[in-house]
Structure 1
Amino acid sequence: MAMTLHVDIVSAEKQIFSGTAEMVSATGELGELGILPRHSQMLTRLRPGQVRVKLLHGEEQVFYVSGGLLEVQPHVVTVLADTAERAADLDEAAALEAKRRAEDTMRNKVDEISYARAQAELVEAMAQLQAIEKLRRMRR
């Protein structure tokens, strides 16, 4: 029997996922993280991006998080996200529009606060689009 870990992904609004997995991958503040059963304990911030959960029998589920915290215990992984959604539920048109608006704001560079906000929105939109693309490749 393969070793497993329990994974919970929750946002401020609701629980997105709870189940057993073989591995979890996410983008932490210092780079990509791969979490397997018996991983050492850890607490880190997450960057906007994907959280990939490899379920038993090789199936993978992809989630988008806008940031948050990742807590790792030897057999439990908890993602506490500001915003989290299944990649399949993301709206590609809305993400493309958010990307376009952020790029326009950055080009016009009204003030530093607007520019910084636009940069953050661009990062989130790009992370959503990457999650959508990853899901597309998995379905092929």
Structure 2
Amino acid sequence: MSMAAEMQIALRLPSRILFQGPAIRLAATAEDGSFGILPNHVDFVTALVPSVLLITAPDGHERVFGIDAGLLVKKGHAVEIAVRRGVPSDSLENLHDTVGRTFAEVADDERAARAALSRLEADMVRRFSNLRRPQP
């Protein structure tokens, strides 16, 4: 593998790409602790825990993301990260409020979706039970 000055990072949510671009450094947290990746790091795969993900752009600007559990795959000069939920923040200081607000909204949406699904399932069961009844 050739030596590179930067790596390409893609941070994906189930519904969209949260970040995609070049980076010179990445810091994340796995089940066994925090770690960092530079462009020529050895290839590997790890499970991420809910934590802060830091991506340093080639110009030195640091991007901050609050993430839920996910998976990180480093292969060559590409890093693919898939997380269930994630939010960008302009700074580490504001991340706590941003994560709390955004994840609470998502939790409310998930709760409403589960309630709607339960109603749909109950309606299906009622309809199937009516099919089994003998007709007069």
Q: TM-score, normalised by structure 1?
A: 0.62
Counterpart in the other structure of 1:11: 13
1:95 matched to 2:97? The reply is no
SS in structure 2 at match of 1:92: helix
How far 1:39 moved relative to its partner? Answer: 1.0
User: Structure 1 residues 95 and 58 mapped into 2: Cα distance closer, same or farther (>3 Å)?
Assistant: same
- In 2: Cα distance, 1:23 partner to 1:54 partner: 5
Instruction: Give 5+ residue unaligned stretches, structure 2.
Output: 105-136
Considering only aligned residues, what root-mean-square deviation do their CA atoms show, in Å? 2.5
Match of 2:26 in 1: 24
Cα deviation, 1:33-85, whole Å, max 9, x if unaligned, reads: 10001211111100101110000121100011111001111211111001111
Check whether the contact 2:87–2:98 (CA below 8 A) recurs between aligned residues: no
Task: Report the Cα distance in structure 2 between the residues aligned to 1:64 and 1:73, rounded to whole angstroms.
Answer: 23
What is the Cα deviation at residue 95 of structure 1? Answer: 2.1
Aligned to 1:56: 58
The answer to whether the aligner puts 1:76 opposite 2:78 as a matched pair is: yes
Unaligned runs of 5+ in 1: 100-140
Amino acid at match of 2:68: S
Greater fraction of residues in helix: 1
The amino acid across from 1:92 in the alignment is D
Query: Identity of paired residues, percent?
Result: 27
Q: Distance in 1 between matches of 2:56 and 2:98?
A: 27
Compared CA separation, residues 20 and 93, structure 1 to 2 (3 A) = closer
In the alignment, the residues of structure 2 paired with residue 48 and residue 57 of structure 1 have an alpha-carbon distance, to the nearest angstrom, of 27
In the alignment of these two chains, the number of paired residues is: 97
In 2 relative to 1, CA 56–70 (structure 1 residues): closer, same or farther, beyond 3 Å?
same
Give the Cα–Cα distance (whole angstroms) in 2 for the partners of residues 92 and 24 of structure 1: 22
| One-letter amino acid matched to 1:21 | A
Moved more, 81-90 or 35-44: 81-90
Answer yes or no: is 1:46 the counterpart of 2:48. yes
Q: Per the alignment, do residues 6 and 65 of structure 1 end up closer, same or farther by CA in structure 2, a change over 3 Å counting?
A: same
Larger Rg belongs to: 2
Q: Give the direction of change, closer, same or farther, for the CA distance of 1:93–1:62 in structure 2 (3 Å limit).
A: closer
